[in-house]
Amino acid sequence: MRVEMLGTDDAVAKVLADEVDLAVVALPLADSRLDIHLLLEEEVLLAVPRGHPWADWVRVPMEEVLAVPGLLLSMPGHGLRALVDDASRRAGIAAAGRIELRSQAALLAMVAAGGGVAFAPRMTVEGREDVAAVPVEPALSRQVGWVRRRGRHLPAIGVELLRLVGWTE
């Protein structure tokens, strides 16, 4: 077994090229060549540096977050950025962030260093001591799923991996 950290587009490309048996990806995703399965849904929080004025808030209004020039964003397209762009459209406010990073780890490192604030899935900020995580209002959530090429069977190790992360058929 080999595990790699890839973006959704790169992971799907590897599945379609038969380079990997499955990929865990951000949803929604639509591709008739894939079998797509929901794995989990989780809350998306706002990661702020420790000591930031919002660090102790119960909830931060989305309009305030989107207006902050120090908002760090993931790259446009799928997943978390698509959620943020959708929330921005609903609020009628263009996100003020000017820095876009491809990696969630890089976004959180920038936040921890005091370089801004960023949206982050709960699982990426739980247990971290270098950033504070605050819910936003209205709440955001994301879905994570797994995909395989349509018609392919998973090897036993793939099924076991999915069971370990909570998937049930």
Q: pLDDT per residue over 35-90, tens digit each?
A: 999 999 999 999 999 999 999 999 999 999 999 999 999 988 768 898 999 999 99
Measured between alpha carbons, how far is 68 from 98 in angstroms, rounded to an integer?
10
Pick the CATH number of 41-141 from 3.30.300.20, 3.40.50.2300, 3.40.50.1000, 3.40.190.290: 3.40.190.290
Q: Is 44 exposed, middle or buried (0-12, 13-18, 19+ CB in 10 A)?
A: buried
Distance, in Å, from the CA atom of 54 to the CA atom of 33, rounded to the nearest integer, reads 44
Q: Which amino acid is at 24?
A: V
Question: Where do the domains of the chain lie?
Answer: 8-40+143-164, 41-141
Mean pLDDT of the chain: 93
Q: May I ask the CATH class of domain 8-40+143-164?
A: alpha beta
Fold match between domain 8-40+143-164 and domain 41-141: yes
**pLDDT above 70 coverage of the chain, percent:** 99
Q: 24-33, 73-82, 133-142 — which one is most confidently predicted on average?
A: 133-142
Question: Would you state the pLDDT for residue 5?
Answer: 82
